[in-house]
Amino acid sequence: MSILITGGAGYIGSHTLVELSQFNYDFIVYDNLSNSSQESLKRVEKIIGKSITFINGDIRDSEKLKEVFSNYTIDSVIHFAGLKAVGQSVEQPLEYYDNNVVGTLRLLEVMKEFACKKIVFSSSATVYSEVDAKNYTPLTESNPVGGTTNPYGTSKYMIERILEDLYISDNSFKIAILRYFNPVGAHESGTIGEDPNGIPNNLMPFISQVAVGKREYLSVFGSDYDTHDGTGVRDYIHVVDLSIAHVKAIEYLGTDALASAIGETKVSLPKINPLIVNIGTGVGYSVLDVVKAFEKASGKEVLYRLVDRRAGDIAKCYANPSYAKEVLGWEATKTLEQMCEDSWRWQSNNPNGYNCDK
Ligand code: NAD
Ligand code: UFG
């Protein structure tokens, strides 16, 4: 029995493989390598000390998926595969809906055909409707959703609805929807991490590249927000904490993919289905807080310039993560300092990411 990990060669997927392995789960990786390389899997193999079954395939390719479900006994799916760049999704909406929404539909159809009915889905805090910063409270799972402002966010919202409707039609499906806040950091080995293509859109990879000398300075988007220092506040979550949340979610759904009983930490709580849960720390840090913490962790100066707000950004976004603790027995443990130290170890050991020729 194995867990199928779609998008398992990517940033969050590769870290989740390490944690699944620690808890003795069997898994198979299915990825089209559109935003990753097999090098990440080779590095994970080194960390976990065993080889990984990898299938190079696209989630929109039903025939290939059927082949995988025929050749292996798949107990459950952790579904990371998808495109994730907000700005690019505005330029290429059809590609984003095709890849994310149509891809998920194809995957769910094949899962249903093969009676594989457990899925953990990578959703995002971006599904929450825009929040009025003045009346801001941390986001709980019951906050309004769907007021999305870009095709990426809308694709996540649509998939959440599809999963909920699927459950209504067939309540033998067991579904966990994880709404991630801002994943950052890297495995403490410094051998796997986030490897964005081209100029990073997100804060932590951009800061890392300034610190390592690949970029001259950070543009801080907006310094007149209603926050403690005027810069945007987010809930940064260490990717290893986030990965552990997936292990908890798979335990919650009840899986038969354990290689043996070693490491089994099943929780026995009343089951909510579909489970929709925030994965964040509950603590908000500003852009300048992160810059300062990164400088301390790296010992490097991070030059920055205050510039205009970025279109579509909000002042503050952070989670109320108490539900995750209640239902999954999960909470974040890693600090901003650790997030910066681990990001820096990865960046400084691998200035060109996985590709030495970049
Ligand atoms: P990533 O790009 O590093 O990983 C995604 C993986 O999916 C890549 O390896 C890519 O090659 C693969 N993939 C893409 N389309 C595919 C397809 N059609 N078929 C097969 N494989 C495909 O991204 P990540 O940061 O690891 O994100 C993982 C998931 O989490 C994504 O669904 C993303 O939208 C979601 N998410 C990410 C963030 C974030 O800030 N990183 C925040 C919220 C949600
Ligand atoms: N920022 C800068 N300069 C940069 C990059 C970012 O000042 O070069 C600021 C932003 O304005 C924001 C904060 O840093 O205030 C964080 O920005 P990110 O781009 O790192 O993250 P976002 O909160 O905008 O969005 C991220 C992902 C989305 C996801 C969302 C919630 O990009 O896909 O978190 O999970 F939906």
Over residues 146-157, the mean pLDDT reads 94
Q: What's the pLDDT score for residue 273?
A: 87
Residue among 14, 15, 34, 163 to mutate when testing ligand 1 (max atoms within 8 A of CB): 34
β-pairing, 233-234 vs 174-180, is unpaired
Give residues with Cβ within 8 angstroms of 324, minimum separation 6.
Answer: 245, 277, 278, 279, 330, 331
175: its two tokens: 């579904």
pLDDT of residue 336: 98
Bond into 274 cis (ω within 30):
yes
Calpha distance 316→256 (Å, rounded)? 40
Provide the pLDDT for residue 270. Answer: 53
CB 19 within 8 A of CB 244: yes
Give the pLDDT confidence score for residue 259 in this predicted structure.
Answer: 55
Average pLDDT over residues 173-183: 97
Least confident of 46-55, 162-171, 233-242, 248-257: 248-257
Q: In sequence order, which residues have a C-beta less than 8 Å from that of residue 270 and are 6 or more positions away?
A: none
Residue 207 pLDDT: 98
Full-model pTM: 0.96
pLDDT in tens, 207-231: 999 999 999 999 999 999 999 999 9
Give the whole-angstrom CA distance, residue 93 versus residue 87: 10
pLDDT-above-90 percentage for the chain: 87
Backbone angles phi, psi at 321, to 5 degrees: -95, 15
pLDDT score for 197: 87
Task: Tell me the mean pLDDT in the region 335-355.
Answer: 96
Q: What is the pLDDT of residue 134?
A: 55
Closest of 283, 285, 277 to residue 325, by C-alpha = 277
167 pLDDT band, cuts 50/70/90, is very high
Distance CA 218, CA 209 (A): 9
Confidence (pLDDT) at 346? 98
- Please confirm, yes or no, whether 285 is among the known catalytic residues: no
- Closest residue (by CA) to atom 3 of ligand 2? 220
Distance CA 25, CA 167 (A): 25
Residue 261's pLDDT is 39
Catalytic: which of 128, 152, 157, 354? Answer: 152
Q: How far is the CA of 88 from the centre of ligand 2 (A)?
A: 14
Q: Domains in the chain, ordered, with CATH?
A: 2-349 (3.40.50.720)
Token pair 């293509």 in the structure block, residue: 197
* Residue-wise pLDDT tens digits, 75-91: 999 999 999 999 999 99
- Give the residue-averaged pLDDT of 260-275: 59
Q: 262: pLDDT confidence band, cut at 50, 70 and 90?
A: very low
Q: What DSSP string describes 130-152? A: PP-GGG---B-TTS-B----SHH
Residue 22 to residue 16: CA distance in whole angstroms = 10
Asked if pLDDT for residue 255 goes beyond 90, the answer is: no
> Sorting pLDDT into bands at 50, 70 and 90, what band is 256?
low
Q: What is the DSSP string of 6-61?
A: ETTTSHHHHHHHHHHHHTTB-EEEEE--TT--HHHHHHHHHHHTS--EEEE--TT-
How many angstroms does the Cα of residue 135 sit away from the middle of ligand 1? 32
What ligand is nearest to the CA atom of residue 128? 2
Q: Which of the residue ranges 25-29, 72-76, 81-85, 261-265 would you say has the lowest mean pLDDT?
A: 261-265
Residue 77 has a pLDDT of 98
**Closest ligand 2 atom, CA of 204?**
20
> Considering the chain, what is the average pLDDT of its residues?
93
Amino acid code (one letter) for 128: Y
pLDDT tens digits along 281-332? 999 999 999 999 999 999 999 999 999 999 888 899 999 999 999 999 999 9
Residues 6+ apart with CB under 8 A from 207: 218, 290, 291, 294, 302, 343
Distance, C-alpha 151 to centroid of its chain: 17
